[in-house]
Amino acid sequence: MGSRVLVEPLPCSGSWNMAVDEVLLEASAVSGSSALRIYEWDAATVSLGYFQSAEDPSLESRFPGLAKVRRLSGGGAILHHHEVTYSITIADGHPLSVSPGVLYEEVHRRVIGLLAAWGIEVNLRGEAIKFAAEPFLCFSRGDARDIVIGRHKVMGSAQRRRRGAVLQHGSLLLSRSDFAPEFPGLVELAGLTRQRREVALALADALVSLLPGDPIEAGLTELEHLQAEELTRSRYANLSR
């Protein structure tokens, strides 16, 4: 299998979203395929970074009753609510898989270009913000490659590698969530008027050129679907690693 694009037709659960991302990473590691996936979340969900403790008191004190899942990638926790999420998997040996920074920069540069075409000026943060102790939430942290409007992060990304293949996924924050009102999105910061589905399709168009070869629109194979179902049950139904 070569390169494929998956734009999910409906929002999915956090456990399913993370399981599919892992299945696509494994496919890249095993078969050398690459994929771009655009998806949404069917409920407000907190994803913990891979190395974060599920016992962190911030998890329940801030987000009691919300769905929770652990990501394969590192970094801080993310509240996924009013956003569009992308994931991209690149096989070992491709220039975009060699250095972590290259894929970050190429994805974020294209997102900046997409938003500029809509009259929304965003930038890379340019310089990391240092903290004595890293904040629990990713959007409170400050990586140099974050996409920002002023001091507000509107996109951050994270990676996981497996046998040379790389998975990168990230969240484009469209609007503020009542569960994390300190993080305004593109609606509040720039007056975004486009609907979420339009943003998802435009994001796919902006990023598809990163995939090698001639990408096709294709969903999971039957085997991959079964693998994702198994991972949903065995790995992503709880917060254990």
Give the confidence band of 133 by pLDDT, cuts at 50, 70, 90. confident
Which pLDDT score, from 0 to 100, does residue 128 have?
82
In a domain, 44, yes or no: yes
Residue in 22, 32, 25, 24 with CA at minimum distance from that of residue 1: 32
In a domain, 165, yes or no: yes
pLDDT tens digits, residue range 23-62?
999 999 999 999 999 999 999 999 999 999 999 988 989 9
In a domain, 59, yes or no: yes
Which pLDDT score, from 0 to 100, does residue 1 have?
66
pLDDT tens digits, residue range 194-234?
999 999 999 999 999 999 999 999 999 999 999 999 999 99
Which distant-in-sequence residues (6+ apart) come within 8 Å of 210 by Cβ? 36, 88, 90, 96, 103, 106, 107, 110
In a domain, 217, yes or no: yes
Q: Domain range for residue 207?
A: 3-234
Find out whether 223 and 26 touch, Cβ atoms under 8 Å. Answer: no
In a domain, 240, yes or no: no
The catalytic residue among 12, 44, 138, 203 is: 138
pLDDT tens digits, residue range 170-192?
999 999 999 999 999 999 999 99
**pLDDT value at 240 more than 80:** no
Q: Give the C-alpha separation, 161 to 171, whole Å.
A: 19
In a domain, 107, yes or no: yes
Q: Give the C-alpha separation, 11 to 27, whole Å.
A: 23
Report how many domains make up the chain: 1
- Catalytic, 12? Answer no
In a domain, 41, yes or no: yes
CATH code of the domain covering residue 65: 3.30.930.10
Q: Give the C-alpha separation, 37 to 21, whole Å.
A: 8
pTM: 0.95
In whole numbers, what is the pLDDT of the chain averaged over residues? 95
Cα separations in angstroms, 191 against 85, 109, 126, 156: 20, 21, 24, 20
What is the Cβ-side half-sphere exposure of residue 105, based on CA atoms within 13 angstroms? 10
In a domain, 120, yes or no: yes
